[in-house]
Chain A
């Protein structure tokens, strides 16, 4: 245990160091600012369930969609060396498909919700494979390829339901978006855990991780080792599609309403940033899903901290940008190697003084 801990710092700047340090700084900052910031209350919500509440819950709960999208985005980034900027628009499409099914019946029961979610998945996977095909088969840069959906995705979402803000109300939707009766933890948080476990299982029972990294690091070598890189890239997009469908459905369920213009608005940038803060190389290759998840929570904690400080929400974006720039720059290879050099120099000096002392 101790040696592991030591290794972590010895490797010095292991991939997770930056996001974890960022979280620690934010936690310390908040404790200093307001010792009760992280206090968690247990109370009854308006449906009479016992639920947890507090800033910590808001952070973990609020980052759910971001965390799920970041997991999928990590795969796409690793395999294709680029990012999908249409996740927000695609989530609006998936969410609209979800609502479409829900509104098609007079009574919403478990079956309708599952059918709706499955349709959302299918729709999102279709659009994702459109993106994926452009990237993997036609070798268009991911950002350019996904720009198309980014631009027109929300209009497509509008077509699906026709209305501007269709609403759905049902205890089941409410349970998905906020709390399941009897469970005090917000359901979106549980969904994030489920998705993370699912990823872990996929990595355990398939060679996805190895193949994706190989394709991302050295596509030519991967091909000569028999890996079908087109398929791996396409697959990464399809998996992201599923993540988008989940995130979109959560987004809809939170408020029981879909606004195609604002659902998960600007989430693509936060998603890419979460991947970057997680220490993943945006140019593809080696990745750590856990890094991206932590990255998502860093971003959300930052947002909630700024809100708690009553920073005007128009300014929040600017402050967020400053902090994120600092994090990403610190995580850049240039700074990393500089710090590593510094550490080794300090160590060498220490050794020298010890040696001299011995003489």
Chain B
């Protein structure tokens, strides 16, 4: 802001001014609903989740094993080549201990969530997921983890078919 300007526009309101109707206002509640077709790569990915497996796509040009799988390589800009199964184990790349839910509401028991890079995919390629069977004191970057799958009958073809990633036994050694 320039020091030459002496008056700055804007009238501040408090939450109460709005919530208690102290200022003139109008309201609208949208009712938007969506259904997404999963497309080629994600349809197979979700089907394999239901089978309890993680699948990737290879690109013969850059030699990467791409996960999450896609039908084209964004770097080489050509179709990817083959489906390949990868492991359901990996490494915690980063995480958060969240006391906020989706709507930024406070929750007493924190959610452990982060990025896990998956064994068998190219380095650093992974997915976001929850972590479980560990405390907020135990979780750490570099920790080895394994997918904890929901029972077969509860799987729906969703990333939630994995309940969370839990500690991999070899980590205890």
Answer yes or no: are A and B bound together in one complex. no
Question: Which B positions have Cβ atoms within 8 angstroms of A?
Answer: none
